[in-house]
Amino acid sequence: MITTKTLTSYLSASAIGIVAGVIGYRFWDLEAITVACLIAFSGILSLLLIHVNRLWSIDRQLARSLFHSSTANSATIVDANARLTSGLKLLNTVLPLREAVVFRCDDSEGLVTVVRYKTPAPNPQDPRRNALWREGIKLCQQAAATRKLATQTTSGQNSSTVAVPLLHESETAGVLLVRLASEFSNEDTPLLLAIGSQFARNLERESFTHNAVRTEAFSFFSQSGSRRKLDALNVLKAVTVEQRCEASTLAHIDDGVAIAYLDGTLALVNPTLMTFAGLTGEQVLKIDLFDLLNKFRTDVFDEPEIAVRRVLQSGVEYEGELNFEPKNQILNLRISLLREREGNNANEPIGIALYVKDLTATKEYEKLKSDMISLMSHELRTPLTSINGFAELLTADENIPTQAREFVSIIANESQRMSRMINTFLSVTQLQRKDKQEVLKIPLRLDEVVRETITSLQPVAKKKRIRLIEQPAHRIPPVAADKSLITQAVKNLVNNAIKYSPERTTVTVSTALEAESVRVCVEDRGFGIPAEAKERVWDKFYRVVREGQEKDEESTGLGLSFVREVVEQHGGRVDLDSEEGRGSKFSFTLPRL
């Protein structure tokens, strides 16, 4: 395509040729044919110069792109010397090394030492060390020239020397010299060549980083500039190799993973996902993202296009649970948007990822756990009911001895305690189930729940000589909540306050409106909570042990855990403000309607 700028340059050059021809014809008596040739030559030369200028412009763009991409990639790579040293240490764990040296090939085809690794030798002052070094250099030169592994065995000393060419893109970046404390086995050749390829990539990056071209503008006419462009391309190829290494790890994980470009083309599908979808490697090559998602269609995931569109529009990932009853399989599907993490285009969408996890075994375990808990509650409650009933009858019998009456009273108290523990444990377990279908949320006024709770617990408070009062607030809006669960949560907090408060103190229960939520607060003047226990009091079975006091054996350690589970299930938050010796303030908030 000829642009205005190109056409202008061409006309200018042609005009110069015509003017030169006219002057030659007029003043130098040149023949008409010569003038015509001069004009034609000027036109051809102008076209050639324009073409060279265009090639130069394209080359500058190519150079900038190559140098920027390669520098950006190499900037995130660990220092090459550190990586080479780490590689030699790794090699020392699998081969009996005496010494290992990495050489880099310079521009004059000489060998420059980059990294050296040497194990402690029993005789460090070996008189043949200079001769061994010269022999090793010759072996390295042979390996570099032939691009093949070279070996040399020292007779009578049970040792050998190996020179490994460090090849990358058919070019020798350097040589690895290895001295072994045993004879070299050909079985180790693939290992050395693989490590050598990694060393070559490290050397290419190091060479590119430290050998900068003087100016990118004239790299088109410079041998060193052209060489640097080739080095930049090799660096990008090296990075690509390592990225393939990272991607290959997906083949060894238990979950299904697929990555697609934004045009729907599948970039990678690991074997686990192929198994879930019932596809072979050959079939995957012929399908796109939506063909793959169609393999996971169910009654709840019947329009994959809509799910993908929402992910692309909002950036929020889609997640759903897919139940395949004919195969007796339950899968969790997640669709996420992949974004660029670095550079000028950071956070720009670059692809779509699919994650599929098999939940079949987990669901079976949860069902087994639920069935076991239900069975346990039934089997334990039945004998406990009998124990409680007969214990109460025996306690009411005035004919039994005093000591026996005391024992029967202990049996009754402990069986009642166990009943409370089972009820609370079952309530907490039921709340933690994935399906929350048994929770019925209705518009609920928390001030009314507080008032009912105080009324029901006044006898308990009076028995302990505790003053239980309500601090009401006006115009409290309703919340969406399950009345039985919220009532039980408030009762747990008030019961705890009564239980752990000294006689003749006050427990205050209040409600308040805070921005978009309603807060219920239970404040006492009890013993308080130590600072180290404030976070743990919400954990299951945790009970605060105070210095100088025995652990409360009647407490199950499940009451506050139940409160947190209920509140968080309703989208709220629990809080604790306490100072040891000055009382505690337990509270929770729920979103208002």
| CA-wise closest residue to 157 among 188, 120, 128, 182 | 182
Domain of 289, CATH number, reads: 3.30.450.20
For the chain, the 3-state helix, strand and coil shares in percent, each to the nearest 5, are 50, 20, 30
Contact of 495 with 466, CB cutoff 8 Å: no
| CA-wise closest residue to 235 among 392, 441, 371, 76 | 76
353 shares its domain with 282? yes
Distance CA 227, CA 573 (A): 64
168 shares its domain with 91? yes
Whole-number pLDDT of residue 347: 77
Distance CA 458, CA 455 (A): 5
Query: Looking at residue 143, what DSSP letter applies?
Result: H
Whole-number pLDDT of residue 19: 57
Contact of 193 with 222, CB cutoff 8 Å: no
The verdict on residue 437 lying in a domain is: no
452 shares its domain with 324? no
220 shares its domain with 97? no
Which of 322, 341, 358 corresponds to the end of one domain?
A: 358
3-state secondary structure of 354: strand
Domain of 464, CATH number, reads: 3.30.565.10
The verdict on residue 436 lying in a domain is: no
The alpha-carbon radius of gyration of the chain (Å, integer) is: 41
What are the angstrom distances between the C-alpha of 335 and each of 340, 360, 479?
17, 20, 33
The domain of 229 spans: 1-76+211-252
Strands in 467-471's sheet, in edge-to-edge order, are: 467-471, 506-514, 517-523, 583-591, 573-579
71 shares its domain with 219? yes
Distance CA 560, CA 578 (A): 15
Contact of 446 with 453, CB cutoff 8 Å: no
243 shares its domain with 267? no
The verdict on residue 66 lying in a domain is: yes
Full pLDDT tens readout for the chain, 593 residues? 445 555 555 555 555 555 555 555 555 554 556 656 656 666 676 667 676 667 666 666 666 655 555 454 444 444 667 778 888 888 888 888 888 899 988 766 688 888 888 876 555 555 567 777 888 888 988 988 888 898 888 766 678 899 999 887 777 888 999 888 888 888 888 888 888 888 887 777 776 665 555 455 555 555 555 656 666 666 656 666 555 655 666 777 788 999 888 888 888 888 899 999 999 989 988 888 889 999 998 887 888 888 888 888 888 888 888 888 888 889 999 999 888 776 666 778 888 999 999 988 888 887 787 777 777 666 777 788 888 888 888 877 778 888 888 888 888 888 887 877 777 677 666 655 544 445 677 888 898 999 999 988 888 888 888 899 888 777 888 888 888 889 989 998 998 888 888 888 889 999 988 878 899 999 988 888 877 777 778 777 666 665 545 545 456 667 788 888 888 888 889 998 888 778 889 999 998 87
3-state secondary structure of 549: coil
The H or E element that residue 27 is part of is: helix 4-27
The verdict on residue 350 lying in a domain is: yes
CA angle 502/507/508 to nearest 5° reads 160
447 shares its domain with 413? no
Whole-number pLDDT of residue 354: 92
Query: Looking at residue 545, what DSSP letter applies?
Result: -
The verdict on residue 268 lying in a domain is: yes
What are the angstrom distances between the C-alpha of 292 and each of 192, 250, 251, 255, 353?
40, 17, 17, 16, 12
Contact of 585 with 522, CB cutoff 8 Å: yes
Distance CA 299, CA 320 (A): 11
Which of 408, 431, 454 corresponds to the end of one domain?
A: 431
Contact of 91 with 256, CB cutoff 8 Å: no
| CA-wise closest residue to 100 among 86, 109, 108 | 86
422 shares its domain with 549? no
Distance CA 476, CA 493 (A): 20
Whole-number pLDDT of residue 539: 77
The verdict on residue 313 lying in a domain is: yes
Domain of 175, CATH number, reads: 3.30.450.40
Tokens of 428: 């907490």
pTM over 0.75: no
72 shares its domain with 180? no
Tokens of 591: 């979103």
573 shares its domain with 461? yes
226 shares its domain with 316? no
293 shares its domain with 314? yes
Whole-number pLDDT of residue 365: 83
Structural domain count, the chain = 5
Which of 390, 411, 431 corresponds to the end of one domain?
A: 431
